[in-house]
Structure 1
Amino acid sequence: MVESEAPRLDAIFHALGDTTRRRMLRALADGEKSVSELAEPFEMTLAAASKHIKVLESAGLIRREIRWRTHVCRLAPEPLARAHDWLGFYERFWTDRLDTLDRLLREEDAKAAAEHQREGEKDERDDD
């Protein structure tokens, strides 16, 4: 990802860093909503909701349209795709790390099983 994307990604991750804004995005995944509808589950003022919406809008995560006197918001998925792509690079890192951990744990289990079997065979010989 080019360095010019960095400020955009910073804005996206800043917007996603707040629980209220993530829940608003989740609500918008079901379809467009008015600012009042977005504010309702949080028991917040329209002014407070508007501040959250401005952060989401600045990050490009939502689009707002004014219909008469109602501000209607809808999800803009493109920036989420950029964030997903960026995280995808690190997903490969963690997948590789988890694969290594899985292999080490399996080797450790195999050694423990072999040791347990040797101890069982030794106990049988001692009983004879």
Structure 2
Amino acid sequence: MAVNDPKTIAWVLERPRVLAVVGLSDNPERPSHRVSKAMQQRGYRIVPVTPKGGEILGEKVYASLTEIPFPVDVVQVFRAPQYAVDVVREVAQMKAPPRVLWMQEGVVNDQAVAEAEALGLAVVQDRCLYKEAVRAGR
């Protein structure tokens, strides 16, 4: 599979409706919050994943991906690049793995890409989902 394959990006913008957002902040000034809110307004269900617990954007927060009791389409990573491999290893433990691992702008980790692809995931790296949605007119 090719990283940042245009077909994968198009699929994420057209088909999925459930985004598990690892590292979603409750601070409205943080990019993870702004992007997630914008995608929520575009009809996506946002599933916050952060150890803080509580609720963000009106959705229950899960401490880890493995705690999510329903399938997600995309795992979106808003963590520092060195943590991307840990996220992929957690994805490997999910009952129903997603189809796509999306690492936001600035999140570049070749080992995470290799491990995600070995799991059969399509990977988008160093791209902003919101900017891609705007670019595609979605």
Q: TM-score, normalised by structure 2?
A: 0.29
Structure with bigger RCO (C-alpha 8 Å, 6+ apart): 2
Structure whose CA Rg is larger:
1
Tell me which protein shows more helix as a share of its residues. Answer: 1
Q: TM-score, normalised by structure 1?
A: 0.30
